[in-house]
Structure 1
Amino acid sequence: MNAMSTPAPQTLSSAFPGGPRLLADVGGTNARFALETAPGQVGHIHVLPCCEHPTLAAALRAYLALPDVAAAAPVVRHGAIAIANPVTGDFVRMTNHHWEFSIEGMRQECGFDVLAVVNDFTALARSLPFLGDQKRQVGGGTAVAGSPLGLIGAGTGLGVSGLIPCASGWTALLSEGGHVSFSPVNETEVAILQFAWREFEHVSAERLMSGAGIELIYRALADYRKVAAEPLSAADVARRALDGTCPLCDEAIEAFCGMLGTIAANLAVTLGAQGGIYIGGGIVPKLGDRFDRSAFRARFEAKGRFRQYLSAIPTHVITAQYPAFLGVSAILAERLAA
């Protein structure tokens, strides 16, 4: 990989035929929609709760019918959707929500000429060259130009991807790395894993590196410490950790951050991601400087003989509010230019 040339500079498409384009980022909880009305100009952003719509097509039509959207784009011919799910063919069944659909069927139902549907972390990976200053470095050195980039992000689930340099630019990996088996590195994490085995035959990284995972870590630590667990949501655990009112909640968030450091380091050495590791998803950005002060970076570098190798790799928290839109815009532009 190191022998590859530096990718050509990435720019959003200079041509913009066909009028405004629909961009969407669909997770297990919310579907985010936007219009790209000119190259790089993204607006009319609305977030629709998935639970309020029976299908993705219904949510899409509801977005297009909103007054400001309909006024800006009475007709939308092209669209691109990033979705928190594997996309391996025409039929998509979401892992963390009940929506399922045929891509071609939805294209026809919603009246698109072109509709691209890709994995959300594939799209997020494609956004990385466009982030500019919409990221915050947490430890490490300087990125090595022309090297792979790694991407990981915890939210409703755990997304994983990478961006590999090639002669024409970048290739985003279609990864489901969030479903690798969780590997503990200390006695406390062994206890957390043993607790999780009571509920799940297979404990993936996603079982713990997610909103539901924070709740599971909290319950496991309560069991391990032999104290009563309250019925707390992930948001409750994070809030109590950040305001200092619950030591057990703070321990849960610290364990979460440490585990994420180990998993991010696994990705870095697997990809040879000397261009950096990027952290997306909905959870880490909300932790703010608590994440920066956590065990994340120390655990990222704790790889024995590879400590020096990992200590040079920068890790970044993505701070852009809607970064996946940048990625699906680039993917759609390429699809239309093909």
Structure 2
Amino acid sequence: MDIVSSSTSRNTSPYPWLVADIGGSNARFGWVAGPNQGVEHVQTLAVHEFATPIAASQTYLANLHAKLGEEFKTPHCAAFAVATAVGQDQISFTNSHWSFSQAAVKSALKLDQFLVLNDFEALALSLPCLSPEQIRAHDRLPEQSGTLAVVGPGTGLGVGSVIQTRHGWIAIPGEGGHATLAATDDFESHVLSNARCEFPHVSAERLLSGIGLPVLYRAVAKTMGDLPQDFSTERIVELGLSGDNLVCVKTLDCFCALLGSFCGNIALTVGARSGVYIGGGIVPRLGDFFFHSRFREKFEAKGRFHAYLQDIPTALIIDTLAALSGAAFAIEQSEA
């Protein structure tokens, strides 16, 4: 049984709860049976196999009903963490074909309470509760107080932060992945110039994501005077880690360096003195390559604010299900 840790419940909403973390490629569903029981029965469904989140949710619930039998209870409360902007009834995903009305989901699933939050708002809410086993730090562990930020290269690039107040933790969602990416040296300037041949606006997500890594590879290849090949993200990572393709190696090196600089910008912007986390599904695949890369060097390379950044710890989230506990925490706080 898969269990994701969650914070202590202070909520009176009837259990069980349905929680989901929906990205561009996968939708992860989980179940909270009762107070302090965490998220269990986690199942990952491929987005492309379902027409809507409603269909995917119903499939998950049907599978869980078959598994639990008489122990299954219909959920009346749910929280979806979604990889797109929220704040309106109609939710449209940036990196998939899914679109849904919050009212329609609430009605179709017969919910009394339905929360929709940005996926990195949910991931940010999980940060204060992450255990050392769920992360891998560069030098020291982030503090579980103050202000924390998270940046996550997955299918797209998510950004979020969370701040501690006397009323508890408050997550601040945003769309920082669509901020313009900046170069820090001549090589990166040439890379961005080549990327602009494909896209007039080169956001961080255009290069620092699953959909962006092939764009970065092509720009790096052109900068190195090589002819780019039709490589997928998975192939670029494979060839870069094995060292079998020098352009792919340089692409991963450039990826980590640009990501470090971008994360430093986020730390400065939100004042994340207690720590910056790296989430998403790409960086964990890089393993030691990431920790031996120029990420930390570029993270700190902010001129007069080098010492400021040097004091901020950074860590990789290795638990890919952390956002589910953040979604459950959002339900807890909704009536706290």
TM over 0.5: yes
Give the whole-Å Cα distance in 1 for the aligned partners of 2:44 and 2:141.
35
State the secondary structure of the residue aligned to 2:312: coil
* 1:142 positional shift: 6.4
Q: Which residue of 1 aligns with 2:43?
A: 46
State the secondary structure of the residue aligned to 2:152: strand
Assess if the C-alpha contact under 8 Å between 1:258 and 1:294 holds in 2.
Answer: yes
Assess, with a 3 A threshold, how the Cα gap between structure 1 residues 78 and 135 changes in structure 2: closer, same or farther.
Answer: same
Q: Which residue of 2 aligns with 1:4?
A: none
Q: Which residue of 2 aligns with 1:6?
A: none
* 1:147 positional shift: 2.3
Could you tell me which of 42, 62, 67 is aligned with 1:65?
Answer: 62
Q: Which residue of 1 aligns with 2:138?
A: 138
State the secondary structure of the residue aligned to 2:223: helix
Q: Which residue of 1 aligns with 2:302?
A: 303
State the secondary structure of the residue aligned to 2:316: strand
Could you tell me which of 4, 25, 29 is aligned with 2:25?
Answer: 29
Give the whole-Å Cα distance in 2 for the aligned partners of 1:142 and 1:212.
30
Assess if the C-alpha contact under 8 Å between 2:280 and 2:320 holds in 1.
Answer: no
* 1:271 positional shift: 1.5
* 1:196 positional shift: 1.4
- Alignment-mate amino acid for residue 123 of structure 1: A
Identity %: 39
Give the whole-Å Cα distance in 2 for the aligned partners of 1:334 and 1:33.
20
* 1:73 positional shift: 2.5
- TM-score, structure 1 as length reference: 0.92
Q: Deviations over 1:244-296 (max 9, x none)?
A: 21121111000000000000000111112111001101111111111000000
* 1:144 positional shift: 5.9
* 1:119 positional shift: 0.2
Q: Which residue of 2 aligns with 1:93?
A: 92
Q: Which residue of 2 aligns with 1:5?
A: none
Assess if the C-alpha contact under 8 Å between 2:14 and 2:76 holds in 1.
Answer: yes
Assess if the C-alpha contact under 8 Å between 2:20 and 2:28 holds in 1.
Answer: yes
Name the stretch that deviates more: 65-74 or 119-128: 65-74
Assess, with a 3 A threshold, how the Cα gap between structure 1 residues 332 and 70 changes in structure 2: closer, same or farther.
Answer: farther
RMSD: 1.7
Give the whole-Å Cα distance in 2 for the aligned partners of 1:266 and 1:106.
37
Q: Which residue of 1 aligns with 2:226?
A: 227
Q: Deviations over 1:135-174 (max 9, x none)?
A: 11114x5656742111101011110011112111111112
* 1:91 positional shift: 1.4
* 1:40 positional shift: 3.5
- Alignment-mate amino acid for residue 312 of structure 1: D
Give the whole-Å Cα distance in 2 for the aligned partners of 1:221 and 1:87.
34
Give the whole-Å Cα distance in 1 for the aligned partners of 2:14 and 2:103.
19
Q: Deviations over 1:37-56 (max 9, x none)?
A: 12243221111111111111
Gaps of at least 5 residues in structure 1 are: 1-9
* 1:321 positional shift: 2.8
Assess if the C-alpha contact under 8 Å between 1:131 and 1:320 holds in 2.
Answer: no
* 1:130 positional shift: 1.1
- TM-score, structure 2 as length reference: 0.93
Give the whole-Å Cα distance in 2 for the aligned partners of 1:82 and 1:297.
29
Could you tell me which of 3, 8, 13 is aligned with 2:9?
Answer: 13
Q: Which residue of 2 aligns with 1:7?
A: none
